[in-house]
Amino acid sequence: MTLYEPVIGLEVHAEMLTRSKMFCSCAVVDNTEAPPNTATCPVCLGMPGVLPTLNAEAVEMGLRVGLALGCTIPPFNQFARKNYFYPDLPRGYQISQYEYPLAINGFLDIDLPDGGTRRIRVRRAHLEEDTGKLTHTGDGASLVDLNRAGVPLLEIVSEPDLRSAEEAEAYARQLRSILQYLGVNHGDMSRGVLRFEANVSVRPAGSDELRTRTEIKNLNSIRGMVRAIQKEVERQIHLWESGQGVRQATLGWDDDRGQLIIQRTKESASDYRYFPEPDLPLLQISPEHVAEVRQGLPELPAARRDRFCRDLGLNRADAAILTAEQAVADYYEAALAAGGAPQPVANFLIGEIFRLMNADALGRDAIGTIKVTPEALAELLRLAQEGAINLNTAKRVLDILYAEGGDPARIVAERGLAQVTDEDAIRAAVDSVLAENPAEVEAYLAGSEKVAKFLMGQVMRALRGKGQPQAVQEALDEALAARRS
């Protein structure tokens, strides 16, 4: 049997977080808040005789993305009409860019699960406008809301360089993270502000041919995208193996059922009758302006990750987790600024705080809203570091901080959680535990190591979890040794 390899290219539509729309001065509104069709005007409603004007902020944001992806910015841009009919597009054409896009020939270095990286080429990024939104009521009617019509979109198109669903996932996550760092998109796929389309083909492993591809739309989450790609790769391998071959098509994805839906055979560029938009002048972008935008770019996730490794001694995996979401990296750095040590803060953040947030179904970008402040986390770890509390207690205090907020030192004092280091108290606890568990002591003396752990646990319990572990262990060892002789 032939071994196949997937060939995947992603098209990403990202709404730009501008204040107004792409070609008119209507506000960009949150669809869950604004009543339908209230943020509209004759331009975005597609009335005859109106003229578009270009949104400079959208161009600026698109440039930032292009430059962050290492793209070349050509000296001029041209907008183009992409003609098609759909009820959510009242004009009958979408203003997009075709031959002369905003940014070309970039790349994104993705991190692979095995620790390596791979460079994925970005073919182009162009500006266009979003369409309206259709709601099918189920009783035969369809409602049109044009609040979204004309919202700026940046379409970012990769070369078909991705070789697995996992690589597509890494690309999608890292691209989303970059868009968030740049402040151009908050990355919430469930609200449709960021949409992925996956182009998928397969070919005999090792060959460099490009076979017929299909395009999967309606992907509402990165996890859904991964599942859809895996399904489609399997389907195509089966089609080649059974001699039927793959036909070009547009597919939908039903995430609840885990099913691909074949929607239609794909249109080609010539179906759209692209032609230059006569109502907008060419847009010239000077090298000086490009240099200025480049100057203003923030530190991006990969650079921040590398800095965390280099300056803080974190391993690459931890650093990648801490920098994937800008809010998490900011929180982490705030905890360090408050005196936290890099590794313990990283451990508590990744191991404990993320666990608590997961249990509450909170996304990591919500870290700025939790009740544990970065300062409190730093203080908590300082108490543990100084031996005022042990690690178990630190976790208990963290639970309290997470639920109620507050000051770690005061919580420790008020609830009597300070670590027990008093030797007499520890010895008394050891003696009573040994007296209460004669059978276990006997088993230990007969050579059972497991029992030693149990006895240690009992002593810690007798000390209500607050014993200084090393002192407890020593006292226990001593008492058991005395019983042996």
Footprint of ligand ADP (CB under 6 A) = 7-11, 157-160, 199-201, 210-211, 213, 269
Q: Which does 44 bind (CB under 5 to 8 A by kind): Zn ion, ligand ADP, none?
A: Zn ion
Q: Least CB distance from residue 23 to ligand ADP, whole Å?
A: 22
Nearer to Zn ion, 41 or 443 (CB): 41
Tokens in use for 207? Answer: 């060959």
Closest CA to 365 of 335, 328, 330: 328
From CA 203, how far away is CA 212, in angstroms rounded? 9
Starting at the earlier edge strand, list the strands of the sheet with 194-204. 103-111, 117-129, 152-158, 4-15, 194-204, 214-219, 249-254, 259-264
Binding mask 44-83 for Zn ion (x = CB under 5 A): x---------------------------------------
Q: Which does 26 bind (CB under 5 to 8 A by kind): ligand ADP, Zn ion, none?
A: Zn ion
Q: Which does 7 bind (CB under 5 to 8 A by kind): ligand ADP, Zn ion, none?
A: ligand ADP
In angstroms and rounded to an integer, the radius of gyration of the C-alpha atoms of the chain is 30
Q: Which of 41, 54, 418, 425 binds Zn ion (CB under 5 A)?
A: 41
Q: Least CB distance from residue 79 to ligand ADP, whole Å?
A: 16
Nearer to ligand ADP, 122 or 182 (CB): 122
Residues 198-227 close enough to bind Zn ion by CB under 5 A: none
Nearer to Zn ion, 146 or 172 (CB): 146
Nearer to ligand ADP, 267 or 299 (CB): 267
Q: Least CB distance from residue 101 to Zn ion, whole Å?
A: 24
For residue 157, list its beta bridge partners. Answer: 11, 124
Q: Which does 213 bind (CB under 5 to 8 A by kind): ligand ADP, Zn ion, none?
A: ligand ADP
Q: Which does 158 bind (CB under 5 to 8 A by kind): Zn ion, ligand ADP, none?
A: ligand ADP
Q: Least CB distance from residue 230 to ligand ADP, whole Å?
A: 15
Beta-carbon contacts of 135 under 8 Å, excluding residues fewer than 6 positions away, are 142, 143, 145
Q: Least CB distance from residue 82 to Zn ion, whole Å?
A: 19
Q: Which of 12, 24, 233, 251 binds Zn ion (CB under 5 A)?
A: 24
Residue 245, by phi and psi: left (phi above 0), alpha (psi -120 to 50) or beta? left
Nearer to ligand ADP, 209 or 288 (CB): 209
Nearer to ligand ADP, 269 or 439 (CB): 269
Nearer to Zn ion, 53 or 117 (CB): 53
Q: Which does 160 bind (CB under 5 to 8 A by kind): Zn ion, ligand ADP, none?
A: ligand ADP
Is residue 111 within 8 Å of 170, Cβ to Cβ? yes
- When asked if residue 172 is in the footprint of Zn ion (CB under 5 A), the reply is no
Q: Least CB distance from residue 350 to ligand ADP, whole Å?
A: 33
Q: Least CB distance from residue 95 to ligand ADP, whole Å?
A: 16
- When asked if residue 26 is in the footprint of Zn ion (CB under 5 A), the reply is yes
In sign, the C-alpha dihedral spanning 189, 195, 201, 207 is negative
Is residue 380 within 8 Å of 397, Cβ to Cβ? yes
Q: Which does 172 bind (CB under 5 to 8 A by kind): Zn ion, ligand ADP, none?
A: none
DSSP E strands, 232-388:
249-254, 259-264, 275-276, 283-284
Q: Which does 112 bind (CB under 5 to 8 A by kind): Zn ion, ligand ADP, none?
A: none
Give the three-state DSSP class for 12: strand
Q: Least CB distance from residue 187 to ligand ADP, whole Å?
A: 20
Q: Write the single-letter amino acid at 44.
A: C
Tokens in use for 266? Answer: 């794909």
Q: Which does 408 bind (CB under 5 to 8 A by kind): ligand ADP, Zn ion, none?
A: none
Give the three-state DSSP class for 241: helix
Nearer to Zn ion, 279 or 431 (CB): 279
Q: Which does 11 bind (CB under 5 to 8 A by kind): ligand ADP, Zn ion, none?
A: ligand ADP
From CA 271, how far away is CA 83, in angstroms rounded? 8
Nearer to ligand ADP, 208 or 311 (CB): 208
Cα three-residue angle 376-377-380, rounded to 5 degrees: 85
**Complete DSSP assignment for 67-119:** HHTT-B--SEE-EEEEE---TT-TTSEEEEE-SS-SEEEEEEEEEPTTS-EEE
Cα three-residue angle 427-428-430, rounded to 5 degrees: 65
In sign, the C-alpha dihedral spanning 26, 29, 31, 34 is negative
Contact positions vs Zn ion (CB under 5 A) = 24, 26, 41, 43-44
